[in-house]
């Protein structure tokens, strides 16, 4: 065989080997670690620089609109059919509407919600939805500081320039859930969109993030079983929810828990209390705001089982432990920090949970 052919084969093999080694090393990037407790306790968060960089643009906040004129007349003297934000001035309302276009509908702009020829018309359902979402945003910023603190939220927190925010979810019934005489696998081994890549129940959200009828906590408080006990099925549902929350925040279990005593509140991080309030906040948002909107939504906005979209941890967090990396989008839009007036006929949402989560005996 000619030497030139052998040399060509050698060069080709070397190039292929080099490419394989490069691909292998690419998967071995140096991780970022952050201690959440004393060394040796396992409370360390591990992050991928590649993932952090990919989320940077998603967590960018657009520049604020120009400040409103303080001498502007009240909004009720300028606008017709204004049922939310009556406590603001006319220019404050206009400024907020312009921001909404950027946050929710940067392409269609005002026309997404309004008839451009008759702005006061309620003929478009997005306008009706937007009213309730504005009330919901003010509710979060005022009554759920136990979860959002002073950082607060705006429409951008969830929408990020999209009419339909990512991270919304619907009830699901995985194919093959009912197996007749063989029982019901409860959505297992048919992972849905909520818990990708696991054989756990595919939809823990409709069980835990709408009602409080099922207990999230399943670990007992005694060494030996006494009285009632939770089934393995209940444990798998809870673990499925925990995986969803972990994925939504881009963290592992030690962000909230001590691995040596997962049930102990005394050994948990402050983030566990934040999560406790977050679960209850999301339940309220779904039951008091999102689900009541279903009758006005068109068929193409409904899920496969006929229910409307609901929110969860991923809707705001989007893979980041603090939405928008902890930067407050509310600072430039304090108009969204108040309760505001409630339209006639709309019930006032229930009061939130107590200011402190219960101790280790808590069941939910």
Closest Cα to residue 161, out of 322, 331, 324? 324
Burial class (CB in 10 A: 0-12, 13-18, 19+), 290: buried
Which backbone phi and psi does 83 adopt, to 5 degrees? -110, -10
Sign of CA dihedral 293, 299, 303, 306: positive
Q: With 0-12 CB in 10 A as exposed, 13-18 as middle and 19+ as buried, what is 18?
A: exposed
Written as tens digits, the pLDDT of the chain (364 aa) is 565 555 566 566 666 556 555 555 555 777 777 776 677 666 777 777 787 788 888 999 999 999 877 788 999 999 999 999 999 999 999 999 999 999 999 999 999 999 999 999 999 999 999 999 999 999 999 999 999 999 999 999 999 999 999 999 998 865 445 555 555 666 676 655 456 566 788 788 998 999 888 888 887 666 666 665 667 788 888 988 999 999 999 998 889 988 778 888 888 889 999 999 999 999 999 999 999 999 999 999 999 889 999 999 999 999 999 999 999 999 999 999 874 443 333 344 444 444 456 554 443 4
Terminal CA-to-CA distance of the chain, rounded, Å? 76
Nearest to 212 by CA among 280, 115, 132: 280
Contact predicate 309/171, CB 8 Å? no
**Cα 182 to Cα 163: distance, rounded to the nearest angstrom:** 43
Closest to 320 in 3D by CA, of 270, 243, 251: 251
Q: Which domains does the chain have, with CATH numbers?
A: 48-164+322-355 (1.10.468.10), 167-174+186-216+232-317 (1.10.468.10)
Note the pLDDT tens digit of each residue in 12-45: 666 655 655 555 555 577 777 777 667 766 677 7
Structural tokens at position 152: 């607060």
Closest to 291 in 3D by CA, of 306, 309, 278: 309
pLDDT of residue 46: 78
């Amino acid at each position: 065989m000619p030497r030139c052919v052998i040399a060509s084969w050698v060069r080709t093999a070397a190039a292929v080997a080099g490419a394989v080694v490069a691909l292998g090393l690419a998967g071995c990037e140096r991780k970022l670690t952050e201690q959440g407790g004393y060394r040796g306790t396992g409370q360390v968060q591990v992050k991928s620089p590649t993932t952090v960089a990919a989320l940077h643009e998603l967590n960018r906040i657009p520049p604020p609109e120009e400040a409103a004129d303080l001498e502007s007349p009240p909004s009720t003297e300028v606008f017709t059919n204004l049922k939310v934000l009556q406590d603001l001035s006319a220019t404050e309302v206009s400024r907020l509407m312009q921001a909404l276009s950027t946050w929710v509908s940067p392409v269609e702009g005002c026309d997404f919600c309004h008839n451009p020829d008759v702005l006061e018309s309620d003929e478009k359902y997005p306008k009706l939805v937007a009213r309730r979402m504005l009330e919901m945003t003010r509710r979060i910023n005022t009554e759920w500081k136990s979860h959002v603190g002073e950082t607060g939220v705006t429409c951008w927190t969830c929408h990020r320039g999209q009419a339909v925010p990512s991270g919304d979810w619907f009830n699901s019934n995985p194919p093959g859930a009912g197996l007749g005489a063989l029982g019901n696998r409860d959505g297992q081994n048919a992972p849905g969109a909520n818990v990708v890549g696991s054989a756990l129940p595919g939809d823990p959200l409709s069980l835990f993030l709408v009602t409080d009828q099922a207990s999230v906590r399943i670990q007992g408080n005694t060494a030996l079983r006494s009285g009632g006990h939770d089934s393995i099925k209940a444990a798998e549902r809870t673990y499925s929810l925990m995986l969803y929350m972990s994925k939504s925040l881009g963290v592992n279990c030690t962000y909230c828990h001590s691995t040596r005593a997962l049930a102990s509140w005394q050994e948990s991080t402050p983030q566990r209390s934040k999560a406790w309030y977050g679960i209850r906040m999301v339940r309220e948002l779904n039951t008091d705001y999102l689900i009541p909107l279903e009758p006005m939504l068109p068929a193409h906005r409904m899920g496969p089982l006929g229910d409307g979209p609901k929110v969860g941890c991923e809707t705001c967090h989007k893979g980041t432990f603090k939405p928008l990396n902890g930067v407050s989008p509310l600072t430039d839009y304090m108009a969204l920090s108040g309760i505001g007036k409630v339209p006639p006929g709309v019930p006032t949402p229930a009061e939130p949970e107590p200011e402190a989560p219960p101790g280790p005996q808590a069941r939910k």
